Amino acid sequence: MSAAIHEFTAERLAGGSQALADYAGKVLLIVNTASHCGFTPQYAGLEALYQRYREQGLVVLGFPCNQFGAQEPGDAGEIASFCQQNYGVSFPMFARIEVNGEHAHPLYQYLKKAAPGLLGSEGIKWNFTKFLVDRDGEVVQRYAPATAPEAIADDIEPLL
């Protein structure tokens, strides 16, 4: 029986729908991203994690979001171009979504409940909040935006 996370679908940045069930059996690092954020350089660290562990089953999933300081104003083409040209992003990127509020993507509604933040708060506080999901689709941990991707490696390795 697959976990609830595998029941979601999302639109890919390049177009088309992607079933998260396609990632069953993989370790996932799900991140809400932005191109004009103080944490934007984390794209490099996320790509490095993906390159380091993808052969062992890690997939980083990027979800652009414009809800924090309007730091992701571009359209899909602009986002894709920025990520590729500046950080060589090769991990799957999805269409821009909302992570908070009544229009929050169902995946993020689930993630926030499965791994609340500090003091049980569910809301995403800023761009580059990260969720680590095991091979069974269970949410293992939530990381603050300031947590550098390389700092998560020690948590990823046992799951691979």
Report the catalytic residues.
37
Gyration radius of the chain over CA positions: 14
Q: For 38, how many CA atoms within 13 A lie in the half-sphere containing its CB?
A: 6
Contact 28, 59 (CB under 8 A): yes
| 27-33 and 58-64 strand pairing | parallel
Q: Are strands 58-64 and 17-19 parallel, antiparallel or unpaired?
A: unpaired
Which residue in the block uniquely carries the two structure tokens 């069953």?
Answer: 24
Alpha-carbon distances of 134 from 15, 87, 131, rounded to whole Å: 26, 26, 10
Residues in Cβ contact with 77 at an 8 Å cutoff, skipping those fewer than 6 apart: none
